[in-house]
Structure 1
Amino acid sequence: MEILRLVLLLSLISVSLAEIRTTVIRSDSRPIIPIDEFGFTHTGRLELNVSAISLSNPNVDRSKVGFFLVTRESWLHVLQQLEDSDVTCVLESQLVKRVYTFNSLALSNPDSFGSLYVETDSDQYTLVLANCYEDLKLSMKVHSAMYNLDGKSRQRDYLSAGRTVLPRVYFLLAMVYCFLSVFWVVILYRKRLTVFRIHLFMLAVVLLKALNLLCEAEDKSYIKRTGSAHGWDVIFYIFSFLKGITLFTLIVLIGTGWSFLKPYLQDREKKVLIIVIPLQVVANVAQVVIDETSPFAQDWLTWKQLFLLVDVVCCCAVLFPIVWSIKNLREAARSDGKAAVNLMKLTLFRHYYVVVICYIYFTRVVVYALETITSYRYLWTSVVAAELATLAFYVFTAYKFQPQPHNPYFAIDDDEEEAAVEQLKLEDEFEL
């Protein structure tokens, strides 16, 4: 069952950022204990330092206890070998790369060792501790560092092969959002007579996104050089938290027509914000735990599922105010001709509603699928796809809700009002 669990994890979990990790194992009798995952180039290195080694039975054959590297594809074949009894211990398989077995421990120092493993075959590998005895309990402290040597400089690159370009990607995107912020300020200044509070809020959202990407670029650059994110990760998480809250809040405010259609929020719309903001707090806590722990930690998958659940709930919650607004104005338009004007505006809001759904679907489903099927060398493409989708969503929102006197979202003349009434009649006949 533990082996099957590892297969499930390998199929669901993407490559980690592979910081230098310290894993503490206490009285663990699992036959397979995954430690970390990394994408190596032909200059890959694995530094393994293990201390406080303790076996519940020190008299066993220690050649059947040790560390190995395995690719996802090879692991499936190893499973088949175990099922067919071609091998009795995973360390005996020729499909795995043995890093260190405990029979190599020095007699003078049997409770610790240090090892440097050179990996020249480019691929995505999982570092695993194997225990081929059912009742043997292992305890130890594992300090692992996986990295690639970068070009002629031979500097260490602690980012996985498929993510080493991320610092540059995030920095370029941050510059794009900075440019958009300046451009939006110019628009607000030129159209200052038609600027609403929502436009200033939109500026704040873009600025926070730019700062978030800038901090993420520096965070990943720091990991790339040192293998540790400490120092920049706190600032990154703060801006990530603020960016998430302001984005969801902006969607709710736009969907309800706040500021340019009405200067207030109804009680149930306020309740949506009261629900979404605490959920974003929970989601950000889960994200911190996910990023700061190994993908094979005991509670990592639980936190991952919690994050996905909260994220889906937030995405669904921000859609309700748009639906409520369309429904209320539609009912009012049946008895009030002027309400047909607002109906026309909310009909246009439906376009925004569709775009929001497409944005949520693409960034939560399509990007995840892309990350799953993409080669480990090109995992950065899923990040680019998600960020470009977000950029397109921001640009669309700014374009549709820009401050101008004749914006169809803000004003409709008499002819358009009559057209709205006719459209309402046609929709009623269609429903009948």
Structure 2
Amino acid sequence: MKWIYLAIVLTSVLSLVQARPELVLENDSRNLITIGSFGFLAGGKLTLELSHLSLSDRLAQGILAFYIHRSSTVDSAYQDLETADEGSEDDEANDGDVPTCVLDHEIIRNEVQDGTCTILTVPDNQTVWTYEHIVAADEEALWTIVFVNCKHGSDVTLTLKTTELNPGPNHLSAGDSPLPKVYGSVAAAYVVAACIWGWALTRPDTKIFWSHRLMLLLVILVGINKALQALKYHYMKIGVDAEGYTISVYIFAFSDRVGMDVHQAFSFRQGQARHLCCDPITGLQVAFVPKCDHRITNTGYNSCSFFFTLDHR
């Protein structure tokens, strides 16, 4: 077990010295390349730094551009692009001429006129290109950035560094900003629960089974998992790559799942789970403890569903 924890510590430390990862494309033939989504607040800043730009065929007709869509959901941006892309393919099939760029579709043109999207054309005769924008009060929304290659038949090679900042500075999306405190609070709650559970196991009038000790270990593992998640989002908030903490979170999440399965097996083997199958039950105390399962969304909502039992006889 020692080498496992040593590996966790090493990956966590190494993640602190790595720079924020860049997007590197080599001879990519895709027309639409999703960069990512980020919830901006007023005063936020978006920076796009493009370098090492090259094309397999610079004489190909069309443009290179960034499509930036502002909305309340990610799906709306992708739906508009997919609809426009399908329309472009239909135009190509009907006309038989040079394929129409997805950015020329009526849906995209209407978005530009309405101010819900921005098209940033990238000069194809330059290898380095930079864009900076300060978010205004009326531009607060979920920004979705997509790289569009309308040079049909030409593969693109580039390196892109994207920096997204909210006031603070805060590198987390608007919906994810409370997550460090949320996970920190949940971790603290599990520490308290572990203390109460440990105290209950030491009471002289309590009959102890192995499943009870396993449950204490499980609560401790979940608490460590939530503490690592709090650290991960804290370092993401200040702009440090938290990949090492992400790996640690997955390891402890797996441990939680294995621990739950082992606990259930011990409970049924020792007869402590009979109350799940038969009645009546006497002297059963059930304590509910929230176990937050964070969905990877821009709202950062969590769902809670976890319980453990202690049978006093």
- The reply on whether 1:46 has 2:66 as its aligned counterpart is no
Q: Which residue matches 2:5?
A: none
Deviations 1:333-375 (A, max 9, x none): xxxxxxxxx7x7741599xxxx9xxxxxx999xx87xx88xxx
CA contact (8 A) 1:174 1:213 kept: yes
Where do 5+ consecutive residues of structure 1 fail to align? 1-18, 150-154, 262-321, 323-341, 356-361, 406-432
Secondary structure at the aligned position of 1:46 is classed as strand
Aligned pair partner of 2:135 in 119, 143, 166: 119
Q: Which residue matches 1:217?
A: 230
CA contact (8 A) 2:48 2:163 kept: yes
Q: Which residue matches 2:27?
A: 27
Q: Which residue matches 2:219?
A: 206
CA contact (8 A) 1:49 1:114 kept: yes
Q: Flag the 1:67–1:345 CA change in 2: closer, same or farther, 3 A.
A: closer
Cα distance in 2, alignment partners of residues 52 and 238 from structure 1: 37
The 5-angstrom pairing of residues 67-216 of structure 1 reads 67-71=66-70, 72-77=75-80, 79-80=82-83, 88-92=100-104, 93-94=108-109, 95=111, 97-98=117-118, 100-103=120-123, 110-120=126-136, 121-149=139-167, 155-191=168-204, 194-216=207-229
- The reply on whether 1:257 has 2:273 as its aligned counterpart is no
Secondary structure at the aligned position of 1:226 is classed as coil
Scaled by the length of structure 1, the TM-score of the pair is 0.54
Where do 5+ consecutive residues of structure 2 fail to align? 1-18, 92-98
Cα distance in 2, alignment partners of residues 68 and 211 from structure 1: 40
Cα distance in 2, alignment partners of residues 35 and 54 from structure 1: 18
User: Going by fraction, where is helix more abundant, 1 or 2?
Assistant: 1
Query: Match for 1:168: what amino acid?
Result: K
Deviation at 1:117, TM superposition (A): 2.6
Cα distance in 1, alignment partners of residues 186 and 244 from structure 2: 22
Secondary structure at the aligned position of 1:190 is classed as coil
Secondary structure at the aligned position of 1:347 is classed as coil
Cα distance in 2, alignment partners of residues 211 and 45 from structure 1: 34
Equivalent pairs counted in the alignment come to 264
Scaled by the length of structure 2, the TM-score of the pair is 0.72
Cα distance in 2, alignment partners of residues 192 and 144 from structure 1: 60
Q: Flag the 1:112–1:348 CA change in 2: closer, same or farther, 3 A.
A: farther
Cα distance in 1, alignment partners of residues 21 and 142 from structure 2: 17
Q: Which residue matches 2:312?
A: 404
CA contact (8 A) 1:191 1:403 kept: no
Percent identical residues: 24
Cα distance in 2, alignment partners of residues 223 and 177 from structure 1: 23
Cα distance in 2, alignment partners of residues 122 and 186 from structure 1: 49
Cα distance in 2, alignment partners of residues 174 and 54 from structure 1: 48
> With CA pairs under 8 Å and 6+ residues apart, which has the higher RCO, 1 or 2?
2
- The reply on whether 1:347 has 2:304 as its aligned counterpart is no
CA contact (8 A) 2:200 2:206 kept: no
Secondary structure at the aligned position of 2:45 is classed as strand
Quick check: which has more Rg, 1 or 2? 1
Q: Superposition RMSD on alpha carbons, in Å?
A: 3.4
CA contact (8 A) 1:99 1:117 kept: no
CA contact (8 A) 2:61 2:151 kept: no
Q: Flag the 1:28–1:345 CA change in 2: closer, same or farther, 3 A.
A: closer
Deviation at 1:118, TM superposition (A): 2.8
CA contact (8 A) 2:210 2:266 kept: no
Secondary structure at the aligned position of 1:380 is classed as coil
Deviations 1:234-293 (A, max 9, x none): 443443332232123223332x233x56xxxxxxxxxxxxxxxxxxxxxxxxxxxxxxxx
Cα distance in 2, alignment partners of residues 33 and 111 from structure 1: 19
Deviations 1:11-37 (A, max 9, x none): xxxxxxxx9441121212222111112
CA contact (8 A) 1:36 1:127 kept: yes
Cα distance in 2, alignment partners of residues 235 and 82 from structure 1: 40
User: Going by fraction, where is strand more abundant, 1 or 2?
Assistant: 2
Q: Which residue matches 2:10?
A: none
Q: Flag the 1:166–1:193 CA change in 2: closer, same or farther, 3 A.
A: closer
Secondary structure at the aligned position of 2:42 is classed as coil
